Amino acid sequence: MSAVHSDDPRAQRTRARLKAAVLELAAQQELATITMSALARRAEVNRATVYLHYPDVDSLVTDALEDAVATVARAAALCPLDAPRDRAPLPLEELFEHVAANATTYARMLGPQGSARFAARLRERLTAELAQRFAGGRRPAVWDDVPVEMHAAYLAGALVGVVAHWVTARREHVPTEEAALAFWQLFRSGSRSTTTD
Amino acid sequence: MSAVHSDDPRAQRTRARLKAAVLELAAQQELATITMSALARRAEVNRATVYLHYPDVDSLVTDALEDAVATVARAAALCPLDAPRDRAPLPLEELFEHVAANATTYARMLGPQGSARFAARLRERLTAELAQRFAGGRRPAVWDDVPVEMHAAYLAGALVGVVAHWVTARREHVPTEEAALAFWQLFRSGSRSTTTD
DNA sequence: TCGACTATGCGACATGTGTTGACTAATTGA
DNA sequence: TCAATTAGTCAACACATGTCGCATAGTCGA
């Protein structure tokens, strides 16, 4: 039973180097063109060593972007469900600012050449976080019939869809606040009579 | 200027073989484990020939599933926006039935090991089709502020999110009609006062 | 400080990947 | 039917891919 790759400082250093390397490369070229060999060279790590930590480029890049995923998921879950319809809540605006600041990365990851693993991970984290939020807090009564998990998956997908479309197609044309507001209005179009206590 | 691979019957036959082969293989194994070599063997086509038609497995499988994508996109666009809230419109139910009938395929394609190209294509087609529908027909007045493209991207993402979550996690627990109805209620929660003419 | 891990480096292996050039054979138009 | 066109086959190439066993060196507990 191999106790593979624990908290050994050597392993941590190697993983850090690999994550840095893959982000550098991903900023320059498409994901599919990033080879394990080039990755190993860039990180100054033996090629065989890479496989001790990550089975493929996808897993590596997804792990490297775990912080970004967590940022998005947390921000989404922090939005007060009963915030006014004509103004996006602060966490949502910060979420879109974060995406705007890393627009090329998100565009590359969510595009046709992107990482299915990253997209799935982002949706999964968002769904989990939102479901938890919905289970704990009160949802507006309009949605009482809908299972919490479904609702979370719906919104997670919607956010990923809007973000993907925004960063790829028309980020020049639609400013950040406008995108955030649009998303918020789409979410809020319905429960216009605040919360349900 | 190579007039590459037109409607020559030989090319069509080859492409048909390749599409059939990739779907057969995809039904048995993960996408990442499908090699161009195995594909060529299965389709009884020379390995070099595959590259004359498709640059990678992703492109091939996405092309092979183009009909499925079109089916989903068309069904989504056919839904009458003002259908009653407590009953999913027929096209939407057919959409979910189609997904249920090909659940393993969708699960594989939209999962972590899936195809970013397919997911992007599905969202893109959905977005385009819905945007066209929104532009032509009337949208409920609640959404007047929101750009049509944003709205379409929102819904496209939401549908993909729900489908992905449904087919991967709990298709056993949530029956088809219930999933369709949940999606419909999430969409309809708001514009409860019919259309806006 | 020493001895037991164990992550990493290294070289090698079979296999898969794109690509090329020359040859074969199917298709099409005249 | 014949000639021109072009998709397909085939062999070969340099390179990338996973995966070995073994040697080295960094790490941690005693």
What pLDDT band is residue B143 in, cutting at 50, 70 and 90? confident
How far is it, in rounded angstroms, from Cα B172 to Cα B157?
Answer: 23
How far is it, in rounded angstroms, from Cα B137 to Cα A144?
Answer: 30
How far is it, in rounded angstroms, from Cα B148 to Cα B77?
Answer: 14
pLDDT tens readout for residues A60-83: 999 999 999 999 999 999 999 889
Lowest mean pLDDT among A95-109, B68-82, B141-155: B141-155
B162 versus B138: the higher-pLDDT residue is: B162
| Residue appearing with tokens 């070099």 | B48
Percent of chain A whose pLDDT exceeds 70:
93
Do B50 and B17 touch, CB atoms closer than 8 A? no
Strand D contacts in A 28-57 (CB under 7 A): 35-38, 47-48, 51, 55-56
Q: Where are the domains of chain B?
A: 9-53, 57-188
User: Which is nearest to A141 in space by CA: A183, A83, A190, A184?
Assistant: A190
Which B residues 163-182 touch A at CB under 8 Å? 164-166, 169-170, 174, 179, 182
Interface contact B56, partner A, CB < 8 A: yes
Does the pLDDT at position B26 exceed 50?
Answer: yes
pLDDT of the residue at A139? 82
B110 versus A6: the higher-pLDDT residue is: B110
What pLDDT band is residue B137 in, cutting at 50, 70 and 90? confident
What pLDDT band is residue B2 in, cutting at 50, 70 and 90? very low
Q: What angle do CA B146, B162, A63 make, to 5 degrees?
A: 95
pLDDT of the residue at A90? 97
Do A106 and A167 touch, CB atoms closer than 8 A? yes
pLDDT of the residue at A190? 58
How far is it, in rounded angstroms, from Cα A43 to Cα A14?
Answer: 8
The tokens describing B170, both together, are 């709990």
pLDDT tens readout for residues A109-122: 999 999 999 999 99
Does the pLDDT at position A197 exceed 70?
Answer: no
Shortest distance, CA B114 to any CA of chain A (angstroms): 6
The tokens describing B47, both together, are 């390995």
pLDDT of the residue at B172? 75
Do B61 and B116 touch, CB atoms closer than 8 A? no
Does the pLDDT at position B190 exceed 60?
Answer: no
Do B96 and B179 touch, CB atoms closer than 8 A? yes
Q: In chain B, which residues have their Cβ closer than 8 Å to the Cβ of A119?
A: 116, 119
pLDDT of the residue at A191? 53
Tell me the pTM.
0.93
B197 CB and strand D closer than 7 A: no
Percent of chain A whose pLDDT exceeds 90:
79
How far is it, in rounded angstroms, from Cα A126 to Cα A160?
Answer: 9
What pLDDT band is residue A169 in, cutting at 50, 70 and 90? confident
Does the pLDDT at position A196 exceed 90?
Answer: no
A158 versus B135: the higher-pLDDT residue is: A158
Strand D contacts in B 50-89 (CB under 7 A): 52-53
A5 versus B9: the higher-pLDDT residue is: B9
Percent of chain B whose pLDDT exceeds 70:
93
Cα torsion angle, B34, B40, B43, B49, sign: positive
pLDDT of the residue at A3? 44
Q: Which residue is nearest to nucleotide D10 (CA to C1')?
A: B46
How far is it, in rounded angstroms, from Cα A130 to Cα A157?
Answer: 11
Q: What angle do CA A74, A63, A128 make, to 5 degrees?
A: 35
Does the pLDDT at position B123 exceed 90?
Answer: yes
How far is it, in rounded angstroms, from Cα B57 to Cα B36?
Answer: 7
pLDDT tens readout for residues B49-80: 999 999 999 999 999 999 999 999 999 999 99
Interface contact B84, partner A, CB < 8 A: no
The tokens describing A33, both together, are 């063109």
Does the pLDDT at position B177 exceed 60?
Answer: yes
Q: How many helices (H) and strands (E) does chain A have?
A: 10, 0
Do B22 and B56 touch, CB atoms closer than 8 A? no
- For B21, B112, B115, the CA distances from A27, given in Å and listed in that order, are 35, 22, 21
Does the pLDDT at position B83 exceed 50?
Answer: yes
Q: Which residues of B131-168 are buried (b: 16+ CB within 10 A; e: fewer)?
A: bebbeeeebbebbeebbebbbbbbbbbbbbbbbbbbbb
Does 1.10.10 match the CATH number of domain A9-53? yes
What pLDDT band is residue A172 in, cutting at 50, 70 and 90? confident
How far is it, in rounded angstroms, from Cα B160 to Cα B182?
Answer: 14
A22 versus B197: the higher-pLDDT residue is: A22
C-beta atoms of A183 and B150 within 8 A: yes
